[in-house]
């Protein structure tokens, strides 16, 4: 069985120096809390809280999703996903991890191509509508609340688009994933009779990838959703242990917290040495930023906390960001994602070119060169006093991807406890949302509209 | 003519408060230097330095590139670019900005599909090789030094791959872009008789997109390279003015410098409200990080400077990062990229769904909704005391993309002067490169190899 591993040697003072690294005394500083947090989570789990932890075990939903996906595969050549944030990032991440990069150019036989429309850029949306045939296209509409502006606007456009070609048969093209009981999309699903799946109560967008939100599109394009859930369940069982040094989620949370609080490393780089895992760094970017980026702590104290996540790709970003990471401000901690077996063996052939500068590469596989560059980068960072750790994927499979998802979700939940913030809300997005409503003339936002317009009048006119 | 505009109202103390914003006194603090830097650049230009500024005017190279591109278009169905960092980011950015998102699924008639292989992940490379037919594939090999490890390894693999099918005709498939006189790739190009283009002396990778490095692949996929260069030349002429308030590159550099030095905002977010401009944020990420992320200043003093660039996408990242940007630490400054005319008019149709929550969207175009969300986000950030500025693209065209490129390249060159660092070198990547060579057993790196292996022996064994 492929189990993820966490190597944290280079986060320690022994590797990067007392100034930059964690000492045994720092681990002692958090160990007691780590154990308490593990027991808290275990208690919450028993009380039916932390609903995202039940998703890997919900075989009924997984089977239902798989069954409906069969009908989509049989009937449609394209699947368009309308969703944004937590309704899209998991789907894109699973697709990128488990299908070839060129999937849409050469889709898997018997599966539709996948277009995740996670934005309302009109050119972006039109580009897709212009080339797809509505009669061959299924549309999956995803919004937990059922009231996401971008998704509702897209839905209305796509409904008209399908209806114009298919007439009353438009219904068969739509699949809704939303709250089981309330919200506009739920009401519309009932009224129109769409096939729909629930987002379980208590599961927020960024914790929902293992519900139908992520699993239904994944199953439609032929991914092994049971494998994903089995991996998640396995990692969940590993992360139930109380002891920090035996529980990777607990350990990772503690280490990252110490990096912020003791070492002033508030920029958290996720550096994936695998193109397939790059989508998962984008998914984690939301998980970390929205969960921990908070103005108030649980006691109502103004704290303005939250590490800033950065997604990066090795070796590519060695030629873009490593200069900064090695020589710039000492404000970063790096988590490498390493893959042992990439599942493709490309070896630099011998005798292709008789040139001295190329000789040393002959006989090496691209996987070997990539790992040499990763180790070289890790070494250079360490030598410059820049801490890093490594999460190793033996292989990139549905199982290991599932493990990674639950590992990170539990780790961020624990980090929330260290920072004393609520990792499940996002109050900071309300102001911008209300302002957009006001600008679009929505009823009930007249006051906000006045506030914005008055503000604009007072603006200087600084522009060239 | 479409000219980019810079709006910086919300960087000012009047908008975001004295603590977070720039005051008149701050502008006075930099104004004299701004003028001096403009004159320095003008002098360097006359002395034949800053070679990247001559690229937009090199009509001879542009015509040559366009002519060869015609033969590629006529002969090949696929173009693979082997290059990394500055040899790939510009190409990807131009493609994303000026072609539909689905270009490779539905390529433009008479143009090849484009695969930029900017990594050596074996699965990523194999995915492409498995689906392409070598006899229909052109391979463009890009490396300024001609000795980039990743590119050389890829070249050997692709040469064998083409040769096995095409025999001696393999030569017609390869196009080299490298130093005009020296380096392994130049020597190989001469020996094999490949068609090749020079990277002009003095133009580093991240400043090379307007040379054949970016223009040749662009021309092959049917982009208007003359339009790109005309826009760059136009912006270059605008950025020759001495007065800070009339020169957008000078102004942007000064504002960002003040944000770092006076306001402690060392995280620079580029937030593109356009999918098409997202690739350009990735391109800028290299330009900023490698140019300014430095350990030593020009006097040899250890400074460890450099803003950390972040690429973000609106509205998508409103559902991922805005929570952190609005409520988290006050360590960020945001540059919006705004597009006035997206070139696609998708309107939410009326009467599609009789539901109260959807009504307010009817009749609005996706472009309007997107701009309302951008302004709403700008407003929320301002209200939370988070400074931002906006670069407006009237439209996304070859001309405006060219403008943007030269605007940013000049701005970063000026920022280098404020921070007193050399924006054209990248000494911090040497250590990792040498370590990788050592691990791959390259001759001359035996000492480094011993150092690494001894270090590994001393490591603790902290992993789970």
How crowded is the C-beta side of B97, counted as CA atoms within 13 Å?
Answer: 34
Q: Over 90: is that where the pLDDT of B107 sits?
A: no
Classify the C-alpha dihedral A97-A103-A104-A109 as positive or negative. negative
| B323 contacts on A by Cβ (under 8 Å) | 289-290, 293-294, 426-429
Q: Which of A120, A342, A369 sits opposite B153 (nearest CB)?
A: A369
CA gap A255, B274 in Å, rounded = 37
Judge whether B421 and B251 are in contact, CB under 8 Å. no
The tokens 């593990």 sit on which residue?
A38
**CB distance B120–A370 less than 8 Å?**
yes
Q: What's residue B459's pLDDT?
A: 76
ipTM of the complex: 0.97
Q: Over 90: is that where the pLDDT of A460 sits?
A: no
Q: Over 80: is that where the pLDDT of A300 sits?
A: yes
User: What confidence category does residue B462 fall into, taking pLDDT thresholds of 50, 70 and 90?
Assistant: confident
CA gap A406, A249 in Å, rounded = 9
**CB distance A315–B289 less than 8 Å?**
no
Q: Which range, of A433-437, A458-462, B178-182, B419-423, averages the lowest pLDDT?
A: A458-462
| A324 contacts on B by Cβ (under 8 Å) | 289-290, 292-293, 306, 308, 428
Q: Over 80: is that where the pLDDT of A32 sits?
A: yes
| B160 contacts on A by Cβ (under 8 Å) | 349, 352
pLDDT average, residue stretch A79-101: 97
Q: What's residue B456's pLDDT?
A: 82
CB of B437 less than 8 A from some CB of A: yes
CB of B188 less than 8 A from some CB of A: yes
| A150 contacts on B by Cβ (under 8 Å) | 315, 369, 373
Judge whether A140 and A217 are in contact, CB under 8 Å. yes
pLDDT digits 0-9 by tens, B227-285: 999 999 999 999 999 999 999 999 999 999 999 999 999 999 999 999 999 999 999 99
Q: Which of A122, A355, A463 sits opposite B188 (nearest CB)?
A: A355
pLDDT average, residue stretch A68-80: 98
Q: Over 80: is that where the pLDDT of B461 sits?
A: no
CA gap A399, A150 in Å, rounded = 32
Judge whether B332 and A306 are in contact, CB under 8 Å. no
CA gap A175, A189 in Å, rounded = 9
Q: Over 80: is that where the pLDDT of A377 sits?
A: yes
| B310 contacts on A by Cβ (under 8 Å) | 308, 310
Q: What's residue B401's pLDDT?
A: 98
User: What confidence category does residue A462 fall into, taking pLDDT thresholds of 50, 70 and 90?
Assistant: confident
* Angle formed at CA A73 by CA A72 and CA A78, multiple of 5 degrees: 80
pLDDT digits 0-9 by tens, A166-210: 999 999 999 999 999 999 999 999 999 999 999 999 999 999 999
CB of A42 less than 8 A from some CB of B: no
In terms of Cβ atoms closer than 10 Å to its own Cβ (0-12, 13-18, 19+), residue B422 is middle
CB of A447 less than 8 A from some CB of B: no
The strand pairing partners of A78, in sequence order, are A113, A137
- The token pair that represents A392 in the structure block: 């190793």
User: What confidence category does residue A346 fall into, taking pLDDT thresholds of 50, 70 and 90?
Assistant: very high
Q: What's residue B48's pLDDT?
A: 93
Q: What's residue B76's pLDDT?
A: 98
**CB distance A308–B331 less than 8 Å?**
yes
Q: What's residue B108's pLDDT?
A: 83
**CB distance B126–A427 less than 8 Å?**
no
Q: Over 90: is that where the pLDDT of A431 sits?
A: yes
Judge whether B409 and B286 are in contact, CB under 8 Å. no
* B174-178 and B195-198 strand pairing: parallel
Judge whether B348 and A149 are in contact, CB under 8 Å. no
Q: What is the H or E stretch that residue A34 is in?
A: helix A24-46
**Selected residues 362-401 of chain B with any CB under 8 Å from a CB in chain A:** 362, 364-370, 372-373, 375-377, 379-384, 396
All residues at 6 or more sequence positions from B402 whose CB lies less than 8 Å from its CB, including other chains: B56, B210, B227, B228, B229, B230, B231, B232, B233, B234, B235
User: What confidence category does residue A257 fall into, taking pLDDT thresholds of 50, 70 and 90?
Assistant: very high
* B113-117 and A137-143 strand pairing: unpaired
| A100 contacts on B by Cβ (under 8 Å) | 123, 127, 130-131
Let me know if A171 is a catalytic residue.
no
| Catalytic site positions of B | 290, 319, 433
Let me know if A245 is a catalytic residue.
no
User: Cβ atoms within 10 A of the Cβ of A21, count?
Assistant: 23
- Looking at chain B, the whole-number percentage of residues with pLDDT higher than 90 is 96
pLDDT digits 0-9 by tens, A220-239: 999 999 999 999 999 999 99
CA gap B286, B295 in Å, rounded = 17
**CB distance B12–A462 less than 8 Å?**
yes
- Looking at chain A, the whole-number percentage of residues with pLDDT higher than 70 is 100
Q: What's residue B63's pLDDT?
A: 97
Q: Over 90: is that where the pLDDT of A326 sits?
A: yes
- The token pair that represents A280 in the structure block: 């998962």
Q: What's residue B115's pLDDT?
A: 98
Q: Over 90: is that where the pLDDT of A455 sits?
A: no
**Helix and strand tally (H, E) in chain A?**
17, 12
Looking at every residue in chain A, the average pLDDT score rounds to 97
- Looking at chain A, the whole-number percentage of residues with pLDDT higher than 90 is 96
**Selected residues 203-242 of chain B with any CB under 8 Å from a CB in chain A:** 205
Judge whether B376 and A459 are in contact, CB under 8 Å. no
- Looking at chain B, the whole-number percentage of residues with pLDDT higher than 70 is 100
pLDDT digits 0-9 by tens, B272-327: 999 999 999 999 999 999 999 999 999 999 999 999 999 999 999 999 999 999 99
Q: What's residue A342's pLDDT?
A: 97
Task: For each of the domains in chain B, give its residue range(s) and CATH number, in order of start.
Answer: 5-42+230-419 (3.40.50.10490), 53-226 (3.40.50.10490)
Judge whether B112 and B221 are in contact, CB under 8 Å. yes
User: What confidence category does residue A108 fall into, taking pLDDT thresholds of 50, 70 and 90?
Assistant: confident
**CB distance A153–B361 less than 8 Å?**
yes
Q: Over 90: is that where the pLDDT of A360 sits?
A: yes
Taking every pair of C-alpha atoms in chain A, what is the biggest distance, in angstroms?
74
- Give CA separation, A263 vs A297, A324, A385, in Å: 21, 18, 12
The alpha carbon of residue A236 is apart from the nearest alpha carbon of chain B, in Å, by: 15
pLDDT average, residue stretch A67-81: 98
Q: Over 80: is that where the pLDDT of A76 sits?
A: yes
**CB distance A184–B357 less than 8 Å?**
yes
**CB distance B123–A9 less than 8 Å?**
no
Q: Which of B153, B434, B464 sits opposite A5 (nearest CB)?
A: B464
Q: Over 80: is that where the pLDDT of B417 sits?
A: yes
User: What confidence category does residue B458 fall into, taking pLDDT thresholds of 50, 70 and 90?
Assistant: confident
Q: What's residue A106's pLDDT?
A: 87
**Selected residues 85-114 of chain A with any CB under 8 Å from a CB in chain B:** 85-86, 88-89, 100-102, 104-106, 113
**CB distance B319–A379 less than 8 Å?**
no
User: Cβ atoms within 10 A of the Cβ of A447, count?
Assistant: 10
Q: Which of A128, A152, A316 sits opposite B361 (nearest CB)?
A: A152
Q: What's residue B106's pLDDT?
A: 87
CB of A453 less than 8 A from some CB of B: no
| B164 contacts on A by Cβ (under 8 Å) | none
Q: Does the reported pTM lie above 0.90? A: yes
User: What confidence category does residue A287 fall into, taking pLDDT thresholds of 50, 70 and 90?
Assistant: very high
Q: What's residue A107's pLDDT?
A: 86
**CB distance A432–B306 less than 8 Å?**
no
Q: Over 80: is that where the pLDDT of B120 sits?
A: yes
CA gap B178, B176 in Å, rounded = 6
């Amino acid at each position: 069985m492929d189990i993820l591993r966490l190597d944290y040697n280079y986060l320690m003072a022994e590797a990067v120096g007392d100034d930059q690294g964690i000492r045994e005394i720092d681990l002692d500083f958090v160990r007691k809390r780590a154990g308490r947090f593990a027991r808290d989570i275990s208690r919450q789990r028993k009380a039916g809280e932390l609903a995202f932890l039940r998703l890997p075990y919900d075989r009924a939903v997984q089977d239902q999703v798989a069954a409906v996906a069969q009908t989509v595969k049989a009937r449609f050549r394209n699947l368009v996903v309308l969703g944004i944030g937590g309704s899209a990032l998991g789907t894109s991440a699973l697709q990128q991890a488990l299908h070839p990069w060129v999937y849409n150019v050469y889709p898997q036989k018997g599966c539709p191509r996948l277009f995740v429309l996670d934005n309302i850029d009109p050119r972006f949306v039109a580009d897709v509508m212009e080339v797809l045939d509505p009669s061959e296209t299924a549309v999956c509409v995803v919004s937990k609340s059922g009231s996401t502006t971008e998704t509702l606007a897209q839905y209305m456009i796509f409904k008209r688009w399908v209806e114009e070609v298919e007439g009353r048969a438009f219904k068969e093209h739509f699949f809704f994933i939303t709250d089981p009981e309330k919200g506009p999309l739920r009401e519309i699903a009932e009224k129109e009779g769409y096939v729909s799946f629930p987002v379980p109560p208590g599961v927020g967008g960024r914790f929902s990838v293992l519900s139908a939100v992520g699993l239904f599109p994944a199953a439609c394009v032929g991914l092994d959703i049971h494998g994903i859930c089995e991996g998640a369940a396995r990692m969940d069982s590993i992360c139930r242990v109380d002891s920090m040094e035996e529980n990777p989620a607990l350990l990772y949370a503690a280490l990252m917290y110490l990096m912020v609080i003791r070492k002033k490393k508030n920029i958290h780089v996720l550096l994936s040495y695998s193109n397939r895992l790059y989508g998962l760094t984008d998914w984690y970017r939301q998980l970390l930023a929205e969960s921990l980026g908070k103005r108030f702590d649980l006691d109502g104290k103004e704290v303005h906390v939250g590490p800033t996540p950065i997604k990066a790709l090795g070796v590519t970003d060695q030629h873009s960001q490593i200069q900064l990471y090695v020589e710039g401000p000492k404000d970063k901690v790096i988590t490498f994602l390493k893959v042992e077996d990439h599942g493709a063996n490309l070896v630099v052939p011998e005798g292709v070119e008789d040139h001295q500068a190329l000789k040393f590469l002959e006989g090496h596989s691209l996987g070997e060169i990539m790992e040499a560059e990763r180790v070289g980068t890790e070494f250079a960072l360490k030598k410059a006093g820049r801490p890093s750790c490594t999460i190793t994927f033996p292989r990139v499979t549905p199982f290991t991807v599932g493990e990674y998802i639950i590992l990170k979700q539990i780790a961020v939940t624990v980090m929330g406890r260290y920072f004393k913030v609520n990792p499940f809300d996002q109050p900071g997005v309300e102001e911008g949302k209300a302002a957009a409503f006001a600008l679009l003339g929505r009823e009930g936002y007249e006051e906000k509209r006045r506030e914005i317009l008055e503000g604009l009048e007072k603006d200087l006119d600084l522009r060239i």
